[in-house]
Amino acid sequence: MKVVLVEDESMVVMLLEDMLADLGHEVVATAGRLDRAKECARQADADLAVIDVNLNGEHTYEIAQTFLDRGIPIIFSTGYDAAGLDPQWRRRPLVQKPFELSALEAAIRGATQSQV
């Protein structure tokens, strides 16, 4: 599966790239700034997006919606639980930092199965 990562912390990007590779997926684009994230959401050839809820102090719900509008499932990543998300987004798959491989795998399964 081709994955876009929207994350502003380079160490987290590297960790997620390694974890996704371990699960057999390929990171095709990364975005650490809002303008780049918007571009990826509009144009990236991807099967899934993993999106940090807070990108340099800005919420990423608009980016998430753009991916969803294109039919690309999303997973939110955050240091908080689902209660930290805006209510309309709380049912979306979520992985909490620090990440665990099994939680990421389950979130991918949940995101991609809900798109079928």
Q: Where are the domains of the chain?
A: 2-114
Q: Token digits for 75? A: 């997973």
CATH code of the region 2-114:
3.40.50.2300
Tell me the three state secondary structure of residue 35.
Answer: helix
Structure tokens at 29: 């684009």
Predicted pLDDT of residue 45: 97
Segment-wise mean pLDDT, segments of 10 residues, the chain, 116 residues: 97 97 98 97 98 94 98 94 89 93 96 75
How high is the pLDDT of residue 114? 66
CA angle 85, 50, 42 (to 5 degrees): 100
What residues have CB less than 8 Å from 34, skipping those under 6 apart? 55, 56, 58, 60, 63
Helix (H) or strand (E) holding 5: strand 2-6
pLDDT at position 116, please? 47
Cis, bond preceding 87 (omega within 30 deg of 0): no
Structure tokens at 81: 């639980």
pTM of the predicted structure, to 2 decimals:
0.95
Question: How much is the pLDDT for 84?
Answer: 85
CA distance 71 to 19: 24
